[in-house]
Each structure stands twice: as structure tokens, then as C-alpha cells.
Structure 1
Amino acid sequence: MFLISIVGAVVAPFMCFIGYLMKKTERPDIPIKFNEFFVDTNLYVVLLIGVLLYGVITSYLFNREYVENTLKNVLTIPISKISIIISKLTLLLIWIITLTVVSWVLTLILGLMGSFEGLNTIILIRSFKEYIIGGSLLFLLSTPTIFVTLVFKDYVPAIVFTIAVTMVNVLIANSKYSVLYPWSAALVIANNGFRPEYPPIYSYISIVATSIIGFVATIIYFKNVDVK
């Protein structure tokens, strides 16, 4: 699953790279800026591919014991259900950050191969920061997916949920409401793309509230559900 997720993580950089090469072929007189390449790739990661990819990973981590019918055996060990959730969340965070770094590194490599212009230390540091912030915020927003996975004990509802989230992302990405919707607000915060209609605190509140509600619902459900 980890190797498959690596393949998923490189999709966005390659998609953007091919798109920029096509653009360069049509307009060779216009230079391609490294900063634009980093920003556009992060947009694809946070708004589209990341939501789906990280959702699949989340459902895999939290559903595999149900699929393999091993959860009841795990619970015979003197370990609390909350500890199981926390350990899986820790692994999920490491996994997401690793894939985020892979996307950033590949974006850098492809940009160098394409001889894109404007690369400097400031852009490197800023883009890396934006990627890590975006990945971290998507991790916080994984808790609703965890809850859906545990309730239905199947991959399909969780995948359908992430698809629905992604469709809404696409719908409102360029509107002023993107700062209010948690999953699009992640990109707004990462890229500092706040809008004058709403204070930045609204974006932070929407993400934190969604994360906490999902986490609390997950803990309450998992602690009280009977494992058969």
C-alpha cells in the first residue's frame, strides 16, 4: 500500500509538469517560473489528489483489522481503544508528510529538468513550508473519514465521502466561500490566499472544528461499539 501511495503522490507533479511543457511548446517566448510550478502542483495535491489519496490511506489504516477480522485479537492485548486510534493517527501523519515531501521533491526535480526559471532559496523554503502546511491540514481533516470508515467498516463509503469532498472543492475553489469550506481552506491557509470578505480566523475555525468533531465522534463511537 505504501508503494502504491507513492505512485499516487507523484501524479500531481507529473500532471503539472506535462501541462507546463505543453504550454511552453505553444508559447516558447514565455518563461515558466518555478514559483508558479510549485503553487499549481500544491493546488492539485491539496484540493484534488491529496484528498482522495489520503482518504484511501486513512480508510486502509482504520479498516484493515475489520477486513482481516483481527481487531478482536488486538483488543485482547492490554491496550486501550484510544491508544489504538492515537497510534494509527501517528502513523497516518508520518505517511501523509512523507508523501507530501515526495511530491515537493519531485516537483523540484521536474522543474530543474524542464529548466524552469526563478529558483532561489526563498522560493524553496516558502514552497516547502506551503506543502507541509497543506499536508498537515489535510491530516487534521482526516478525522471525518476515520469516523465514516469505522461506522460502515468498509472502504467504499469512505472513498465516496472523499470524492464528494473533492467535488465540492472543485465547485468552490475560485469562489469567496473557499475560505469557509474546511478542505479548500487548507489550501487558502497554505498559500496565504485569504479573501477580504472573511477574516483568516474563519478558515482556521472551520478546519479545527471539523477535525475536533470528527475526532470526538470517532473516539465515542469506537469506545462504545462492540467488536465481534
Structure 2
Amino acid sequence: MVNLLYTEMLKLKRAKMFLVSVIGASAAPIMMFIGFLNMKSQQPDTAITFELSFYNTNMYILLLIGNLLYGVITAFLFNREFTEDTLKNLLTIPVSRTGLIVSKMVMLFLWIMALTLVAWGLTFVLALVGQFEGLSTGVLLQSLKQYTLGAGLLFLLSTPTMFVTFLFKNYVPTIIFTSVITMINVALADKKYSALFPWSAAHVIGDHAFFPEYPPSYSYLAIIITSIAGFTATVLYFRKADIH
């Protein structure tokens, strides 16, 4: 397992995908900062706080940017051996197919968390530059907890994307899949049913934006069931798939 993870890190070191993903993770903080500056120019008396900046940026990541960005990363990690035609050679070492999936999932988790820290840190720096109000240790710790919790939930929800990647062995279906999820997230934003749809439930849990109609357990169950189903389907399919 350690050797597989080390191999994944070496492959990532030689690729430009990580730098591209950092740019993608920076999009949400920058866009929200520009939006706040525009609001400040039109309403100079409006107070913009660190808490508001962290909350809105995290919401943007969980509902929009995150699904698309992490979906592309998932496709990159799990489709690379197919596109480069190296999987059949890798499996002759021999390497456990389940172990290969788990090592890539660990790499995906570390990648997502790294991008989350980039987004959180950039949000903090831009808020300092914009001289936002209400900076405190409590706000920083609470926001960091919300960011990492939301990132962890989106990681759990990457398993259906993994299955789509293995099933079609192509980036396009994965991008379409994550785009549809994003559109559903937008449609359900601020609606009570967002607590039941797994990907929007990540925002509900991450930002503690629960609805009285549905207890938190509903959101957690939606995510857990989706994650387990996606992982099980991925493992079963990959273990039985013929590698040519």
C-alpha cells in the first residue's frame, strides 16, 4: 500500500495537474473577493466580515466548484492507467486491484485536503487585503473546521464518480456526471430538499445549515449510503473487469 501511494505521488510530481487544480481551487476565493469588493463599492456602509467571507466561499466550493474540480481530479487519478495503457503491466507485479483503488483514494483524499487548505488560506489572505471585519481565533478555527468537514464529505461522495470513470474509461462522461450534479445543487440551493440530495447535503452539514423538516441524520445517511454504494460498485466492477 505504501509503495502504491509513493508511486502515485511520483506520477503526480511529474504531471502538471496539481498546479492546474490549485488554480481551480483559487477560483472560488478570488471570485467571492471580487464580488465583495463590488458590493462594497456600491454600498460603502455595508460591513463585510471574515465569517461571511469564509461562509460564502465555502458554499461556492461545496455547491459548485468542488464537484467539478474534484470530479476531474478523480477521473485523472483513476483513468490515467487506462489512457496510458499501463494498467495491464501494473497488475502483473502483482498488485491487488482493491489495494490499487484504496491507494488512489488515499491520494485523492490528500489532494482534496491540500486544495481545501489552499482555498481557506487564500480566503483568509484576501479578507486581510480587503480589510474585512470581525477577525478572531474562533472565526478562523470554526471556518477551518467547516472547510475540512465539507471537503471530507465531498471525498466520500467521489466514489460514484470513480465508478463512472471505471465504467466508461473516459473523462467526458465523468465531466457530464459532475456537471449534472452541480446543476442539481444549484436548483436545490436554499431549498429544504437539499438536505436529502447527497452532494448538496455536504453543504448542509459542512455549514450547519440544517432544515427543521429533516434532521441531520437524513443528510448523513444520504451521504454514507451513496458513498458505500459507489465504492462497492467500483470494487466489484474493477475486480471482474478484463484488462487488455
Q: What is the TM-score when the length of structure 1 is the normalising length?
A: 0.99
Once residues 126 and 57 of structure 2 are traced to their aligned partners in structure 1, the CA distance between those partners, rounded to angstroms, is 11
Shift of 1:79: 1.5
- Which 5+ residue runs of structure 2 have no aligned equivalent? 1-16
Secondary structure, aligned partner of 2:211? coil
1:35 to 48, 51, 54: 51
**Does residue 164 in structure 1 map to residue 180 in structure 2?**
yes
Tell me the equivalent position of 1:90.
Answer: 106
1:146 to 162, 169, 182: 162
Counterparts in 2 of 1:9-20, with a 5 A limit? 9-20=25-36
Tell me the equivalent position of 1:81.
Answer: 97
Superposed CA RMSD in Å reads 0.4
Secondary structure, aligned partner of 2:134? coil
Per-residue deviation, residues 175-211 of structure 1 (Å, max 9, x unmatched): 1000000000001101111100011100000000000
Once residues 199 and 41 of structure 1 are traced to their aligned partners in structure 2, the CA distance between those partners, rounded to angstroms, is 25
Once residues 121 and 222 of structure 2 are traced to their aligned partners in structure 1, the CA distance between those partners, rounded to angstroms, is 30
Aligned-partner residue type, residue 190 of structure 1: G
Aligned-partner residue type, residue 204 of structure 1: Y
Once residues 225 and 158 of structure 2 are traced to their aligned partners in structure 1, the CA distance between those partners, rounded to angstroms, is 12
Aligned-partner residue type, residue 54 of structure 1: Y
Tell me the equivalent position of 1:177.
Answer: 193
Counterparts in 2 of 1:71-220, with a 5 A limit? 71-220=87-236
Per-residue deviation, residues 87-109 of structure 1 (Å, max 9, x unmatched): 00000000000000000000000
Shift of 1:78: 1.9
**Does residue 25 in structure 1 map to residue 47 in structure 2?**
no
Once residues 214 and 149 of structure 1 are traced to their aligned partners in structure 2, the CA distance between those partners, rounded to angstroms, is 11
Is 103-112 or 74-83 further displaced after alignment? 74-83
Once residues 223 and 111 of structure 1 are traced to their aligned partners in structure 2, the CA distance between those partners, rounded to angstroms, is 48
Once residues 72 and 109 of structure 1 are traced to their aligned partners in structure 2, the CA distance between those partners, rounded to angstroms, is 46
Per-residue deviation, residues 27-78 of structure 1 (Å, max 9, x unmatched): 1111111100000000111110010000000000000000000000000112
Q: What is the TM-score when the length of structure 2 is the normalising length?
A: 0.93
Once residues 78 and 153 of structure 1 are traced to their aligned partners in structure 2, the CA distance between those partners, rounded to angstroms, is 22
Aligned-partner residue type, residue 96 of structure 1: I
% identity of equivalent residues: 57
Aligned-partner residue type, residue 23 of structure 2: V
Tell me the equivalent position of 1:54.
Answer: 70
Aligned-partner residue type, residue 41 of structure 1: T
Aligned-partner residue type, residue 91 of structure 2: L
Secondary structure, aligned partner of 1:108? helix
Aligned-partner residue type, residue 47 of structure 2: P
Q: How many residues align?
A: 228
2:86 to 67, 70, 77: 70
**Does residue 2 in structure 1 map to residue 8 in structure 2?**
no
- Which 5+ residue runs of structure 1 have no aligned equivalent? none
